[in-house]
Amino acid sequence: MDGFYEPLPDGGFASTPATAGPWSPEFQHAGPVAGLIGRALERHEPVPGTRVARMTMEILGPVPVAHLRVAVRTVRPGRRVSLLEAELSHEGRPVVRATAWRTLRAPDGVPPIVRTPPPPPLPAESRPLTAWAGAHMDGYLSAMEWRLADGSFSAPGPATTWARSRVPLVAGEDDTPLVRALVLSDSVSGVGSELDLTSWTVINTDLTVALRRDPVGEWLCLSGSLQVEPGGSALCEGSLADASGDVGRVLQTLFVDELAR
């Protein structure tokens, strides 16, 4: 496959099998979905000297591995701050909605204030990827290259992994820093799951990615951990970094249910 998506003459996108998530070959992982929306937000009425600082995505339902369209509008225009809204649809039905703040880049004279410790070093080689029993491995999970620095995908507990995409988001294009961050970010609950996914259904309803600066390089580091209690819902928090250090935060709200047998 040449990418997660193939561009279509009508302006839409054909989803390739690489977009399929671990739950089913018929439905997408939200990482490529987030990247596709972020790509559209970046290209919408660009304002020189600004960047997308935060995107929040509301997942209205499973996104099929099928033809998709993205529409973007400006909710609050501005030279220094603007609010954008995007909608991803399949056959005219909205499947994801998102908002994003696009803000002015900070001047070069601003003193750097960074209190987050650096990420662990990038491991020299990849280990064989293992996931929970029954996971679909031939889509998104295989389209990304993973180098776990701590923890495991197949065992409950917080984890930290470096990762990069083996294919571009859209065939024939180079990914932007924002796209690379978004394609990886939705994996935070897989990286940081505290629950046995062979016993529990744990699915996020949303994704928020806030980047204080644009990440640099192909390899990004994602750390995640999940918290949940009876009678509540799950919350997964994560951090994103590149080789130079921390770049931002990831947040997901998730519902938890007993796995249907």
How many beta carbons lie within 10 A of that of residue 86, not counting itself? 22
173, pLDDT greater than 80: yes
Strand 206-211 and strand 144-150: the pairing is unpaired
Instruction: Note the pLDDT of residue 135.
Output: 77
- Alpha carbon distance 29, 137 (integer Å): 12
- Alpha carbon distance 123, 148 (integer Å): 7
Asked if residue 119 belongs to a domain, the reply is no
161, pLDDT greater than 60: yes
- Alpha carbon distance 204, 189 (integer Å): 8
261, pLDDT greater than 70: no
Instruction: Note the pLDDT of residue 198.
Output: 78
130, pLDDT greater than 80: no
Instruction: Note the pLDDT of residue 208.
Output: 98
Number of domains in the chain: 1
Residues 6+ apart with CB under 8 A from 5: 13, 14, 15, 16, 19, 32, 36, 68, 169, 170, 171
% of the chain with per-residue pLDDT over 90: 79
Asked if residue 159 belongs to a domain, the reply is yes
Asked if residue 126 belongs to a domain, the reply is no
- Integer CA distances (angstroms), 173 to 6, 121, 158, 234, in order: 10, 29, 34, 36
% of the chain with per-residue pLDDT over 70: 97
Instruction: Note the pLDDT of residue 103.
Output: 98
171, pLDDT greater than 90: yes
Asked if residue 251 belongs to a domain, the reply is yes
Q: Which residue's entry shows tokens 């490529």?
A: 32
Q: Which two three-digit tokens encode residue 190?
A: 């897989």
Quick one: pLDDT band at residue 115, thresholds 50, 70, 90?
confident
Asked if residue 18 belongs to a domain, the reply is yes
Asked if residue 236 belongs to a domain, the reply is yes
Which of 56-60, 93-97, 111-115, 192-196 is predicted least confidently? 192-196
Asked if residue 115 belongs to a domain, the reply is no
- Alpha carbon distance 161, 147 (integer Å): 6
Say which residue, 130 or 180, is predicted with more confidence. 180
- What pTM does this model have? 0.95
For all residues of the chain together, what is the average pLDDT?
93
Region 91-119: what's the mean pLDDT? 94
Task: Determine contact, residues 144/164, Cβ cutoff 8 Å.
Answer: yes
Say which residue, 132 or 87, is predicted with more confidence. 87
| CATH classification at residue 136 | 2.40.160.210
Instruction: Note the pLDDT of residue 93.
Output: 97
Domain that holds residue 88: 5-105+132-258
Asked if residue 125 belongs to a domain, the reply is no
